Amino acid sequence: QVQLQESGPGLVKPSETLSLTCTVSGFSISSGYYWGWIRQPPGKELEWIGTIYQSGTTYYNPSLKSRLTISVDTSKNQFSLKLKSVTPADAAVYYCAKQGDGRALEYWGQGTLVSVSS
Amino acid sequence: DIQMTQSPSSLSASVGDRVTITCRASQSITNYLNWYQQKPGKAPNLLIFATSTLQSGVPSRFSGSGSGTDFTLTISSLQPEDFATYYCQQSFSTPHTFGQGTKVEIK
């Protein structure tokens, strides 16, 4: 069974870098498929952040592209997100997910809440 | 970016009711339309992908239809566990944008 688990600090200071890792179990990232990040500010809608393939090919949301880096470590079966220069607007529950048929997000992590405050 | 607009934003319905949620894309997305269910404090759960294909394990009372720019999610007979927020998502082109959500509440 495919499982994803987000990890990282729950509190980040404004202007600093938000770093999260998604650890995948039950499926090898090296087997293919795209792996993505999605976020959801409290009480608001979902926002697609970006995806990465095992090869390192990435697609980013243009609204975040200048601050965003998504990377993959197939040896650890993990992929990661780094978002620079955060502001309170970046506070959200961050989810990692596996993309499947139709490019739909078929497996999700439980989500991790990231607050931005000094 | 492709904008996704859901309607209604919320609805009240009773157990056993037939419920329909619509999703409109700002341009054609062929059939790259997905539906998710989200319950409070939980991650979204994929219900339907590619407009009408039911994800494994999803009850058959859920169905999807449409093409191009207009899509529909139908719950044929609402069950107590279906009270949740539903999101559509286009996966035709990046960024894979979501609709604003439709909250289905108990009447």
Q: What is the pLDDT of residues A51-69, one digit of tens each?
A: 999 999 999 999 999 999 9
Q: Are strands A105-108 and A34-40 parallel, antiparallel or unpaired?
A: unpaired
Comparing CA positions, the residue from A38, A32, A30 lying closest to residue A6 is A38
Average pLDDT score, chain A:
97
A47–B49 C-beta distance less than 8 A: no
Q: Would the pLDDT of B86 be above 90?
A: yes
pLDDT in the model for residue A1: 93
Q: Which residues contact B33 (CB under 8 A, 6 or more apart)?
A: B23, B25, B50, B51, B64, B66, B71, B88, B89, B90, B91
CA distance A111 to chain B (A): 7
pLDDT in the model for residue B63: 98
Is the N-terminal amide bond of B8 cis, ω within 30° of 0? yes
d(CA A101, CA A106): 8
Residues A5-47: tens digit of each pLDDT: 999 999 999 999 999 999 999 999 999 899 999 999 999 999 9
A45–B98 C-beta distance less than 8 A: yes
**Rounded (5°) CA angle B14-B20-B26:** 145
CA distance A44 to chain B (A): 8
Residues in A touching B101 (Cβ below 8 Å): 45-46
pLDDT in the model for residue B75: 98
pLDDT in the model for residue B5: 98
Comparing CA positions, the residue from A76, A109, A77 lying closest to residue A94 is A109
Residue of B nearest to A98 (CA): B46
**Considering just the CA atoms, what is the radius of gyration of chain A in Å?**
13
Q: Which residues contact A109 (CB under 8 A, 6 or more apart)?
A: A4, A5, A6, A22, A95, A96, A97, B43
pLDDT in the model for residue A32: 86
> Quick one: what percent of chain B has pLDDT higher than 90?
98
CB B46 within 8 A of CB B17: no
Helix (H, G, I), strand (E, B) or coil at A90: helix
Residue of B nearest to A101 (CA): B49
CB A71 within 8 A of CB A79: yes
**Considering just the CA atoms, what is the radius of gyration of chain B in Å?**
13
Q: Would the pLDDT of A83 be above 90?
A: yes
CB A43 within 8 A of CB A57: no
Mean per-residue pLDDT for A79-86?
A: 98
| Tokens 């609204």 found at | A63
Interface of A with B (CB under 8 A): 45-48, 50-51, 59-63, 95, 100-106, 108-111
pLDDT in the model for residue A102: 93
Mean per-residue pLDDT for A81-89?
A: 98
CA distance B21 to chain A (A): 16
- Count Cβ atoms within 10 A of the Cβ of residue A87 and give its class: 0-12 exposed, 13-18 middle, 19 or more buried: exposed
d(CA A13, CA A94): 16
For B78, which DSSP code?
Answer: -
Mean per-residue pLDDT for B12-41?
A: 98
Residues B48-82: tens digit of each pLDDT: 999 999 999 999 999 999 999 999 999 999 999 99
pLDDT band for B106, please (50, 70, 90 cuts).
confident
d(CA B1, CA B20): 26
Average pLDDT score, chain B:
97
Structure tokens at A82: 């780094």
d(CA A94, CA A78): 15
